[in-house]
Every structure is written in C-alpha cells, then in structure tokens.
Chains A and B, each alone.
Chain A
C-alpha cells in the first residue's frame, strides 16, 4: 500500500491524504527485524581489569585535547600492563577510538586489551590500524587480512627465514601497499641471503616498495648495496695541506650516481638537493669505521668538518645518522666531544648516560637540555635528573637561567615524564617557583600546566595500584 501511496503523491491524487495517514501509522509500527543466526561465543570479560577509580581518571583524561592527552594515555596503558591488569570494558571503545590517531596509543593498547578487547578490536579494521591481534595462524597467509598476513610472515621469518623469503618471492599480483608491508616485514631475520630478493625489489614499479627494500639493504652489513655506497665514498675525502694549514677536501659523487639505490628517498638530509646533499647521504650510509680504509681519514677527522667547492660543510648530523644505523658507540663518544646530539647521546650504554645525566643537566646549554633529558634511558626521568632539571628551571638561576622558549618544553617534560610516585615533591618545587615574585605570566602558565599533568599522572598511578577501588 505504501508504495502506491507515494507513487500517487508524486503525481497528485485527491484521496491520497487518508491513505497516507494510514500508511504513516503502519510504517511507524513496523520494526526492522530479521532472522539472525547466533554467533560463536565472545570471550568473557577479564576478571583482572582496573577498578572504578581508574575508569574515572581515564574518562577525565580522554576528555582533554588529543595532543595533550596522548603521552599520558600511553603512559597509563603502559603502567596498567606493568601492573598485570587489563582495561575495564567501559574504556575499550573510547581507547580503541583514540588509537586511530595515535601511534603511541596503538602500540601500548594491545597489552591491556584482554581477551574481550582483542575480540572487539578484531571486528573493526580501523582500530589499531589493522594490527593483527589474534594468534598467528598458517591459514592467515592465504585468507587473512594484510595485518594478519604480515604477522604470519614475521612469525615465519623469526623461525625459518628462508621459508619466509619463499613466501614473498612472487608478489607481483599483490597491491602495491600490501607489497610494501610484506617487504618491510623481511626486517625480521634479515641476512645477506635476502639480498637478491631485495635487490630485485629496488626495481619495483611502486616507489614505496623500492624504498622499503633500499632501507633494508642499507642496514645489511656486507651487502652489495652498501658496497656501491662505499664505491661512491672511496676517495670522496682527501687531506690537503698548504703551509701550516691542513684540511679535508670533499668531492661530491656524480648527480645520477645513486638514483637506482634510492639514497635520496631513504635518507633525508638538511641540505638542498646538490653536491652537499649527495656528500651527506653517502656519509650517512657508510659505516663510520670504514672511513680510514676508504679515504684515509677517521670519523673523528670528518666530524671537524670538510670543504666542498670552497664551502665549509659540517658532517656531524650525517655521521650521527651513520652511528645510529650501525650502533657505533665508540664513534658516538667521539662525536659528542664535537657537539651534543641527543640521538648520539642515546647510543651510549644506559649506565654511562645515567652517570653523565646530572652533571650534563647542571652545565649544558639551554638548547641541549631537552635533548639530554629525552635521551635518558626509560620513559620516566630519573629522580636525580628531575631534581637537577627543576633546579635549572628556577627563575633565580642567574646567568645560567633559561630563555622562555627553552624552559617551556622542559616544564612540559616535567609534567609528562617526572616519576609520578614522587609527584608531591615535584609539585612542591613547582609551587615554590610559582611563589617567586619574578616569575612571568608565561612561565606561570607553564608551571601550572606541569602541575596539572603531574596531578593527573599521580591519580592514574594511584588508581592502578589502589586496592580499595578494585
């Protein structure tokens, strides 16, 4: 009847309104139903989930702006996992939702989802960005999602690298984005045996796949790829001497020398395209310890800078990148004598960094302080380092005082990474700063923001370890 009524309405009909009234009632009383088969049982709710207080604190945290809450949410999840607990079901959907825009939360979430949460997350591919959450199974290779296929490939590579290589030997029919993910998964268990496959992938029609293959080859000691980089490096630097002056002269590789190897795509350098950028890329690719054999100079020599076409070029950032790539602690220590680089500092052994931290924080320039702090081992700032940092941040520090743009990120760091178990101590120190008459309005905002974040993190910590509210 309804369809006839609507058809009549479109062309006009004098008796329509009475029929339309009846149709409206019928439609309003028609409930959308269907015969649906019952599914397999979902996993039970976890019995070890965090309590009501944790839910309350997290709900408050989730209502804050995305950028402000991200590190705190990630920390809360990490703390929860460390306490051996899972998320209460009430928080599963809000957190899976925010994981869509945060890698840190995506990384921390799987450990606290519990069985019910993993089941739920598997129902929506956009949650956790398609990360495979179920156990890896062989049938996933043929029937699973790309995340499940990658998970299976990584599993195979960890146990039988050759078998994994066979799986990806013929990827021609796969989508480019899938091919890129599968090639990237070869990072697990990589060896020189993968070289032919990766060399072939350098010519893939997809730039993304070729870039992935180049990245893997560049980290494969003894690869032909690195040998080609060394060929470019050989003779690139020569010692020069005139009268009492000595210097190192650089000769840039030819412009088209590294096109196939995609050096330009895997290593971004802080220089416009040209001879300088080409020199920096080769330095960043070659193992620092190889320079004496290749050019008769050491990495330490190169760290002092070179000349290229009458232009002074600093190689510190490129050498630092090479140190990171090859985990070269010895060269890292030498580079730190030239200039502080937080990433190079991060290569030093934990004990060495911790031992140096307090002194460095007391004496470093304001520009380097932030880098020193974030390069310290662990997510939380050590207690002594926090105390030293707070001392530097006091507005009465005189000549050693920090500029506003230097202090602001450090207050943020205190708010986000000072140990929440000692939050009261940190808050007391911040309150003292707040009470100082010379504190500026801008600094006051920074201090108050740090105090708020500390309080929130303290609440999270207490909520996780609070037995009364479990």
Chain B
C-alpha cells in the first residue's frame, strides 16, 4: 500500500526538500517508473543529459539516487514517493535494471554485515577503558557536588535576588556540567535558562531546582539504589548505553502498533520519538531516532503501521526506551485491535506509578477510552472524569472532527500539562493525528 503524503513528508530532511519534491511530483520529467513489492523506482530528467535514477526500498526504508545532492533522501526520491502516494505509479512485473542492481547489492551487504562474534578487547584496552570510566565518574561526582552547592546558594539568597541574571548563571553552570561530562544535566540547565519569564516562573524554577537537587542526591547515593533506579539516574545524568549492550538484552517479541510520533530539534540534532504499543501484552515502548542536519530522520516506524518484531529495552525504570531488533513482518495498518482503554483515573494512576519509579519522568503513554467534550476554554476527554487535552490546536480540532462525541480510545502522552493526543483507535484500526 502506498504511503500517505504525511509519511513522505516525515521522511524528508527539511521543509525545502518537501517543496522541491512536490514540484517534481508530476508525470512530465519521469520515465521508467514502477513499483514491485517494497521496491519503487523511476528515472527523472533533470537539467543534465542523463536522467537521475532513483530507487527506494519502502520497507526499510532506504533511498538511492544518482544525483549529486547531499540531502538525504533527495528531492527526486521524495518526488517519486509523492507520485506513489497519489497512486500514479502502478505495480509492474519487470524491475528496472538499476533498481534491481541496487536492491541486490543491499541484500549482499546485509549478509556481509552480520558481525558474528564481537571483537575481544586486549587487556591494555580494557584497562584504559576502565580508567576513563573511573575518571568520568570522578568528574561527574565533583560536578554534581558543585551543582548542588550552586542550587543551595540560589535558594539561600532567594530566587528574587537573582531574577535578572539567572539565565547567565544557569548557562555558566551548564558549561560546568559539560566539562564534568554530565550532558543530561547540562541540557536541563540550558532549557531552564531559556524559559520565558512568565508569571509562573517561580513555580517552574523551584520545580527544576528541586529535580536537579534530587538528581545530585541520587547520584551521591547511587550505590545504595536498586540496579534499575541507578541505571535511570545514570541515564538522566547523561551516561549512554551502547546499542550493542542494549541489543544484547533479552528481546520482547510482540506485534507492536506504532501509535505516535513526534519530532523536535534539540541543540545540534533532530530527535524523533516514536511510541509503540504491544498488542498482546500492553507493553509500551519509546524508540528514539537522531539525525544531524540535512539528513532525514528514520521513518521506518510510522504511526498507524504495525511490526512483528523483537524490542530490546534500555536499562532503567520504568522500562520504556527501546531499540528494534529482529523484525519478522510489517503491516501498513493496524486492524482488528480490541484494546480496552483505561479511565482517566486509571491513566493517572499509571502516570503516578511511572513517576514513582522515575521521579524525573515528564510524560507517560496511555490509552484512555472516553468521549470528547469541548468547554469554553479547552477540549477534554471524559472517561468517568475528564482530562484536559493539550498540544497543537489544529491536532485537537482534528480529533474533534474525527470523533465528534463518539466514544473512542485515544493514545497520548499524559503529563502534568494534560493528555497530549497522538492517535486514536476506532473499529479496531489506529488513526494518527
């Protein structure tokens, strides 16, 4: 089944590429186009003598174009996908030679890529690695001790005393945390530094200082914490776990419905958050994709689709962030899913339990079965009691257009701000916003 337009847009590296791709999405410059299974191809006549040869693996997804663009996927690949989205490319039996060559080479590389046994480190390498790790722990410990002193000074003198130069102080402390190799803490401080000075700034600052103080205290007492909580603390401080280590954990095989996706630009990189929901076990998972500028974010997991796959969860609690391991099959849509959504109270209890497990957690994925109600100032989802919906205004109106007052299960991120809807389930099928 062809991708929807929104999925093509989600695969683009930037909005300029979307515009350029749309301009080319007309039959005129294209020849030798076709689709066979997951393989899509076409030749696009550009300004040069020879047409650009474009191939797309829509399952992976992966792209190949003979043009010199450094953007990925390029406008030609996006244009081809837009044409496909408009049903202007039909299934053909014979695959163009350039496309089959590329697909063949990809398969061959996939076989070669199998890493087999990981390389053993030498004793010297192990010793150096351990020394670096010990050094970092020392730096982080010293840095977080400085942070806690900074926070104590701030509140001892009173927030009002430093209201005007608080951003500069926070930026300086963030730089100190970068030196201390605690990037997670540095990032929280920078976010706080650029918070607008609205009427509720004392609340936000006190909350943030309290959370950072708790993190510093948890780091000091990490040896006495349960392993999973200690892993959560390490993660919030900014320690990463290698993909290999995550993929080495026991997998959870499930039919995972993709129920939401959100992109954000964070400092130097773009981040895509994709929420998955296990159909059999109700297990929730968050898969993150990162991308530098000019490279498209991975769009292999797209809301409304389903994969039968093994997920490997990162250490920490509650178990949420995951990597996709072996994938056995993918489905372009989610069908016949009889999920009994929770009430608002049950969803709140889930959030409370998640925050009890990870006190720095901001939001928790929930599925609430209820009815939309619009009041003068907000949209609510009512399931016994009502929860205020939050997020982009256009998303909320679209949800109201789709559901009216029909009862439905709404997936979303529940937080202190309310429920941010991501998708909804009607007649056993997941629909995204």
Listed in ascending order, the chain A residues whose CB lies under 8 Å from chain B are 2, 5-6, 9-14, 16-25, 27-45, 53, 56-57, 59-60, 63-64, 89-90, 92-94, 97, 116-117, 119-120, 123-124, 451-452, 455, 459, 469
User: With an 8 A cutoff between CB atoms, is B138 at the interface?
Assistant: no
Given A27-B207, A33-B348, also A53-B213 (CB < 8 A): no
Give every chain B residue within 8 A of A117 (Cβ-Cβ).
Answer: 401
Interface string of B185-210 (1 = CB under 8 A from A): 00000000000000000110111111
User: With an 8 A cutoff between CB atoms, is B115 at the interface?
Assistant: no
Give every chain A residue within 8 A of B178 (Cβ-Cβ).
Answer: none
Do B394 and A45 touch across chains, with their CB atoms under 8 A apart? Answer: no
Listed in ascending order, the chain B residues whose CB lies under 8 Å from chain A are 4-6, 18, 22-23, 25-28, 82, 85-87, 148, 151-152, 155-161, 202-203, 205-211, 213-214, 217, 344, 347-348, 351-352, 355-356, 359, 361-362, 371, 373-375, 380, 382, 385-388, 394, 397-398, 400-402, 404-406, 414-419
Do A119 and B380 touch across chains, with their CB atoms under 8 A apart? Answer: no
Given A20-B209, A28-B355, A29-B355, also A89-B402 (CB < 8 A): yes
Contact of B202 among A10, A32, A34 (CB under 8 A): A10
Chain A interface mostly: helix
Give every chain A residue within 8 A of B23 (Cβ-Cβ).
Answer: 452
Contact of A17 among B22, B152, B374, B388 (CB under 8 A): B152
Give every chain A residue within 8 A of B205 (Cβ-Cβ).
Answer: 9
Q: What are 27 of the A-B contact pairs (CB < 8 Å)?
A: A9-B158, A12-B157, A12-B158, A13-B156, A17-B152, A23-B207, A24-B207, A24-B210, A31-B344, A31-B387, A34-B385, A34-B388, A37-B373, A38-B371, A38-B382, A39-B405, A40-B405, A56-B5, A56-B86, A60-B82, A60-B86, A89-B402, A93-B394, A93-B398, A119-B404, A120-B400, A469-B87
Instruction: Report B56 CB to chain A, min CB distance, Å.
Output: 17
14 more CB-based (< 8 A) A-B contacts, given A33-B388, A455-B27: A9-B155, A9-B205, A10-B159, A12-B155, A13-B156, A20-B210, A27-B203, A29-B416, A31-B419, A33-B386, A34-B380, A90-B402, A123-B400, A451-B26
Do B351 and A29 touch across chains, with their CB atoms under 8 A apart? Answer: yes
Do A28 and B416 touch across chains, with their CB atoms under 8 A apart? Answer: yes
Give every chain A residue within 8 A of B355 (Cβ-Cβ).
Answer: 25, 28-29
Contact of B405 among A32, A42, A59, A89 (CB under 8 A): A42
Contact of B404 among A23, A60, A116 (CB under 8 A): A116
What are the nearest 3 A-B pairs in CB distance? A20-B210, A42-B404, A12-B158
Instruction: Report B123 CB to chain A, min CB distance, Å.
Output: 43
Instruction: Report B282 CB to chain A, min CB distance, Å.
Output: 20
Give every chain A residue within 8 A of B373 (Cβ-Cβ).
Answer: 36-39
Contact of A12 among B148, B151, B161, B211 (CB under 8 A): B161
Cα A64 to Cα B82 in complex, Å, equals 14
In the complex, residue of chain A having the shortest beta-carbon distance to the beta carbon of B157: A12
In the complex, residue of chain A having the shortest beta-carbon distance to the beta carbon of B396: A93
Give every chain B residue within 8 A of A27 (Cβ-Cβ).
Answer: 203, 207, 416
Give every chain A residue within 8 A of B419 (Cβ-Cβ).
Answer: 31
Cα A28 to Cα B418 in complex, Å, equals 10
Cα A459 to Cα B211 in complex, Å, equals 55
Give every chain A residue within 8 A of B347 (Cβ-Cβ).
Answer: 31
Do A17 and B155 touch across chains, with their CB atoms under 8 A apart? Answer: yes
Cα A14 to Cα B394 in complex, Å, equals 45
In the complex, residue of chain A having the shortest beta-carbon distance to the beta carbon of B25: A60
Do A9 and B402 touch across chains, with their CB atoms under 8 A apart? Answer: no
Give every chain A residue within 8 A of B4 (Cβ-Cβ).
Answer: 56
